[in-house]
Amino acid sequence: MKKEDAVQKFPALPSALFLILCLALSGPVAAQTSKAAETLADSTVYVTNTGKKYHREDCGSLSRSKIALSMADATGSGYEPCNVCKPPVLVVPAVSSQAAALYQVNIAGLGSVSQADLSRMTRAEVVDHVDGDTVRVRIRNPPPGLAAVETIRMIGVDTPETVHPRREVEFFGREASEFTRQKLLGNSVSLAFDWDRRDRYGRLLAYIYGSDGDCHNAVLIREGYAHAYTAYSFQFVDEFRGLEQEARRAGRGLWGRLWLEDNQY
């Protein structure tokens, strides 16, 4: 109801009562608007592994890859609407940085991966696996600085190469890649972070925790699927070095053959 219409219909109402009446009359309209916005935010759109736009399901741009996201996740991650299929547009309100702060193990001052607090981590779903130490995840309602779909390079580990464009598949690479695929693909995980947010290729650097509370980064080293990658400093560098030494002594995984080769007479 317009203000002038209300004045004509209720000319003698006190100002306070008039305000209450206007709010009451506008309530149903606001509720309908809010409901429509929620429905639009939950609607499904699609993105690609490399693109920066979101699309309708039948858009021709999705011929090579197709990842489903909610409209809220796509818009909140900085994806823009495709100018060909013209999907709907959603305005996302700002999120306070304090409420969306990322859990960093270095700031928490942790001495071991086992001390991490899963309840404070960023939740994600593993939607693709690249190799033993790299996966892609989907993050619902990503906090500032993160996208709805991220490529994760696990901190502090280096598995043998399987997809390097200029190297052959390395010994125990396929086993490490398959181990990560079986453990993580399709599962919900929790992400913790450290000193550096991204590597030089733009990949998100993280520790990945499974629902059982184990840090997959550490498990890879402990079970002999990876080296401790210590070229750059990180919070658990001493612990990861110790896990590698333990795996070497036990001859686990890739260290089984390598240990025998190094100790032949």
pLDDT by residue for the chain (265 residues), tens only, comes to 544 444 444 444 454 444 444 445 455 544 555 566 667 777 899 998 878 889 999 999 898 888 988 888 787 777 889 988 988 887 655 544 434 589 999 999 999 999 999 999 999 999 999 999 999 999 999 999 999 999 999 999 999 886 666 767 677 889 999 999 999 999 999 999 999 999 999 999 999 999 999 999 999 999 999 999 999 999 999 999 999 999 999 999 999 865 455 555 3
With tokens 């001493």, the residue in question is 238
Q: Verify whether residue 4 is a known catalytic residue.
A: no
Nearest in space to 155 (alpha carbons), one of 101, 216, 243: 216
Q: Verify whether residue 161 is a known catalytic residue.
A: yes
Tell me which of 181, 203, 241, 252 is the catalytic residue: 203
Q: Verify whether residue 125 is a known catalytic residue.
A: no
Helix (H, G, I), strand (E, B) or coil at 242: helix
- Secondary structure E strands in 167-231: 188-192, 204-209, 227-228
- For the chain, list the domains and their CATH numbers: 45-81 (no CATH), 105-262 (2.40.50.90)
Tell me which of 138, 150, 161, 239 is the catalytic residue: 161
Nearest in space to 67 (alpha carbons), one of 170, 168, 174, 149: 149
Query: CA 99 to CA 120: how far, in whole Å?
Result: 11
Tell me which of 138, 153, 222, 248 is the catalytic residue: 153
pTM for the structure as a whole = 0.65
